[in-house]
Chains A and B, each alone.
Chain A
């Protein structure tokens, strides 16, 4: 590193970067602040920056609409669909990474192509199937759909991770006389866990924020937060602070997960095309 960075230059770029970053983050920050305001404060002119830190909005949202049930629906659907997808994907990705055949690439590309199908293309039949089988507005139905739409991404992500596990290490273990299940438990599993963990994290984020099927296939009982928050689109009376409280709770857990998984994000979302 021969380039000496002048302090003045660094101050300039730091200031610029912070201004841009804060502008981009502002809508989120403002929502969080507004959630602690009274409804009058939320629409005050000039805008109030520091709220009175009331928690009433949170209690009221819960009391009026059983918020926690929708929150739990989101948790069930996103975590459930991710775990089921992993159950299907781990063996498949494992087989493709460690026993590649000339056809492996075609299979992977085909799986990815199922992800390209736009949801509206199959909205009508899925809606009718759900209606006729009683899956409409059920957590199970949505979990199934989200498992299917995210399965290709899960397989791809796992595949790119598994492919990086050196096969030599297996041979070394075999030389030492390890038998198959020991190979698996002591050598491969510890190396595969980080990849599985980041896949799990990214997929929970994607499933939590999915807002096409969750809105169209639920009414109220099984509605996760995406569908619940959408019902705020036609407001009655003062509601900004309450909307903000509902929104803050809906985005907070996933923001934290997102920050934790930011390193894996690029790789996961580009199917390994950019690392």
Chain B
């Protein structure tokens, strides 16, 4: 069906998208790379060549090591909560219950809350050490309320982000769960497999692919968490809740160090690409099916 003429037309139809994405991908990234080798501070009009100095400074900055640890903890912690919680919730929502439609809507709602709102709701109304709901509950049990963002800043951010992403994991796992055939489940039941064995040998393998997709897609977004840090802790106390994205932002727009921030940006791109390669494989495989 694809004649030469129709192929030419197809190319023309694709050209605008390909061209703008090409520009978007190459120009800023090339500039970042270029800046990362310059001594360039917005407060200083003289720009000189820096060689690897920016990378050297950025990589040996104690804040960098901490930001990498924090980034990994943030991504890992949120993934753990959302995947385990998501499997549990998906199994629950797959049961015959009354009001399934409304329950589903309530469960997915946090996903639609914009990050600054989600973070500020949690910061002020739930985790506030004086007036927050959590403090009130602690007081009711005679406990000393936790000062969340002072005592466990990173963990607090993990909780907030997990709340936002739990619906995503749940929804995708539920969709995958519902494609498991009734016959398969029944056959296992007839063979005398109990609930736990059914879960381990039938349901979990069936969900494997969906879990992979959840982990990979979430990782892409979680590596870039920014607004939640900005409005709750501003990276503090000290660098205790600074992740890589926030450190780059801080170097660029608060210290005006274009060279250093660009070096950080390049490192962030490299990290994200490692994850991206895995994601592309998972998605690409499905494209053939």
- Residues of A at the B interface (CB closer than 8 Å) are 1-3, 5, 10, 13-14, 16-18, 20-22, 24-25, 27-28, 30-31, 34, 43, 45-47, 88-89, 91-92, 94-96, 98-101, 105, 107-109, 111-129, 148, 151-152, 155, 167, 205, 208-209, 211-212, 215-216, 225-227, 229-230, 232-233, 235, 240, 243-244, 247, 250-251, 254-255, 257-259, 262, 265-266, 269-275
Partner of B224, one of A2, A95, A118: A118
Chain B interface size, under 10 / 10 to 19 / 20 to 34 / 35 or more: 35 or more
> Can you offer 9 A-B residue contacts whose CB atoms are under 8 A?
A45-B136, A92-B13, A99-B9, A115-B220, A118-B245, A127-B252, A148-B20, A216-B249, A270-B283
Partner of B21, one of A96, A151, A251, A262: A151
Partner of A122, one of B28, B120, B121: B28
Give 1 or 0 for each of B1-15: 1 = CB within 8 Å of chain A CB: 110001101110110
Whether a CB of chain A sits under 8 angstroms from the CB of B143 is no
Partner of B14, one of A5, A107, A257: A107
Q: Which of B76-84, B196-204, B259-267 contacts A (4 or more CB under 8 A)?
A: B259-267
Cα A151 to Cα B20 with chains together (Å): 10
Q: How far is the CB of A28 from the nearest CB of chain B, in Å? A: 6
Partner of A271, one of B1, B20, B271, B283: B283
Cα A126 to Cα B283 with chains together (Å): 29
Known A14-B99, A232-B231, A235-B124; further 5 A-B contacts with Cβ < 8 A = A13-B96, A92-B14, A226-B114, A230-B227, A274-B209
Which residues of chain A are near B105, meaning CB under 8 Å? 259, 262
Which residues of chain B are near A89, meaning CB under 8 Å? 17
Cα A243 to Cα B205 with chains together (Å): 45
Cα A161 to Cα B197 with chains together (Å): 37
Closest A residue to B135 by CB, please name it: A45
- Residues of B at the A interface (CB closer than 8 Å) are 1-2, 6-7, 9-11, 13-14, 16-18, 20-21, 24-25, 27-29, 31-32, 35, 89, 92-93, 95-100, 102-118, 120-126, 131, 133, 136, 163, 166-168, 171-172, 175-176, 179, 182, 186, 209-210, 213, 217, 220, 223-224, 226-227, 230-232, 234, 244-245, 248-249, 252-253, 258, 261-262, 264-266, 268-269, 271-273, 275-276, 279-280, 282-284, 286-287
